[in-house]
Amino acid sequence: MHTKLAEDLGLEFPIFAFTHCRDVAAAVSKAGGLGVLGVAGHSLENLRMELEWIENEVGDKPYGVDLLLPTRFVGSESGGLGRDQLDEKIPQEHRRFVDDLLEKHGVPPLPGDAEVSPEFSVGYEGQRDVIELVFEHRIGLIASALGPPPGWMIEQGRAKGVKVAALAGTVDHARRHVEAGVDIVVAQGYEAGGHTGEISTMVLVPEVVDAVDPVPVLAAGGIGNGRQVTAALALGAQGVWTGSVWLTTEEAETHPVVKQKFLKASSRDTIRSRSLTGKPARQLRSAWTEAWEDPASPAPLPMPLQPRLVREAQARISRTAHKSPGSEQLINYFVGQVVGSLNQVKSVRSVVEELVQDYADTMERLDDWAQG
C-alpha cells in the first residue's frame, strides 16, 4: 500500500483520518497513517493544548489539521459579521421553532454554570489567528474543508514544508483548488459524512484524478474497509481520506448515546441535512433531522446563522441524552453511509491493521484472478 504521496509525507500507509478527537488523530499517526484533527470550534488556548498533546504523543510521526474555510456565507461580502449582527438576522420564527421542538421532547434547560462549546468562525480573516497558530506547530498537512484556501495560507505552507489540501465535491471545485495552488485534492463523494456534494465517490474520484493530474488526489466517502481502499487506489487516488470509521473506535470521544446509535444503524439511516451547520452535511437521522425536514417547518438558515441558532439547543440535547428520552431521540452527529458497517467497537490500531490486511487480501485475490 505504497504511494508517492505517502512517501512524501513519511507515512507507512496512505490512510488519512479526519477526526475531532485528539486521541484518534494521535493513534492513527502512531499506527502508520496520518491523523488529521478538525480544529473548528476550538479556542486558541484549547487548540494550542490539543496540538501540543498530539505532538507529545506521536513523537516524530506526522499529523495534520483541518479547517472550515467557506467562501460563501452570510456576511462573506464584508468579511464576516459580529455576534450581535448575526443575532439580528435570525428570525423569531426559527427561535420559536427550536424552543418548541425542545419543549415537545422534554429537553431540560442548561444549568446556570453550564458551558456551551465555542462557536466556529467563518471566513479567512476570522480564522487567521487559528491558521497562524497551527503553523507554529509540527503539522505535516493543513486542509480546507469548504472552499479553496487563501493564497497566504498556501504560501505559509510552502515556506514551512506543510502540504496544503482542499476537499472537493465536483470537478469544478477541484480545478479551483488546483488553480489556487493546493498540493492535494480530496475528492469527497456524496456518501461521506459531514459536508458533501451530490456526486458519488465511485464517479467523482476518477473524474477529479483526470482533471487535476499530476496533483495527487485522496478518495473520501464510503471507505471503511480494505476492499474500499483498494477500489480507491484503483480509481487513481494516492490514498484515502476517512472519517466515519473512527467514530466508533475505543479512543473516539463520540457521545456514548450517539456511538450506540451508530453501532445499530444501517447505511440507510443517514441524511444530508442543513439542520446543524446551514450547509448540506450528512448525519444520522433522528427526531432532530425529521423535524427540520418537515415541510411545515422553517427552512434551516444559511451558515453561520444556523449553527448560532442551534448551538445552545445542541448543548442541552447532548448534556441530557443519557437520561432524557426526548434528548435521546433528538441527538445525532455527522456520519457517512458506511455507518451500516460500523457494528463493533475496536481500537484505532485494530482498524488500521484491518484496513491494511483486507487491502493485501484483496490485492492477492485480484492477482489470482488476473493470472486465471
pLDDT single digits (tens) 30-71: 999 999 999 987 888 999 999 999 999 999 999 999 998 877
The per-residue pLDDT for 125 is 59
Least confident among 122-131, 158-167, 295-304: 122-131
Which residues are CB-contacts of 289 (< 8 A; sequence separation ≥ 6)? 271, 273, 275, 283, 332
Grid coordinates standing for 79? 468579511
149 burial class (0-12, 13-18, 19+ CB within 10 angstroms)? buried
The answer to whether 282 and 334 have CB atoms below 8 angstroms apart is yes
Q: H helices then E strands: how many in the chain?
A: 15, 11
Return left, alpha or beta for 294; rule: phi > 0 is left, psi -120 to 50 is alpha, else beta. beta
Q: What is the pLDDT of residues 214-232, one digit of tens each?
A: 999 999 999 999 999 999 9
- Where are the CATH 3.20.20.70 domain residues in the chain? 4-74+122-252+343-370
55 burial class (0-12, 13-18, 19+ CB within 10 angstroms)? middle
Domain 4-74+122-252+343-370 class in CATH:
alpha beta
How would you label 258-279 residue by residue, b for 16+ Cβ within 10 Å and e otherwise? bbebbeebeeebbbbbbbbbbb
Cβ atoms within 10 Å of 176's Cβ, excluding its own: 16
The per-residue pLDDT for 265 is 98
Judge whether residue 123 has pLDDT over 80: no
The per-residue pLDDT for 77 is 75
In three-state secondary structure terms, 168 is strand
Judge whether residue 170 has pLDDT over 80: yes
Judge whether residue 190 has pLDDT over 90: yes
Q: Give the chain's mean pLDDT.
A: 94
Judge whether residue 371 has pLDDT over 90: no
The per-residue pLDDT for 120 is 58
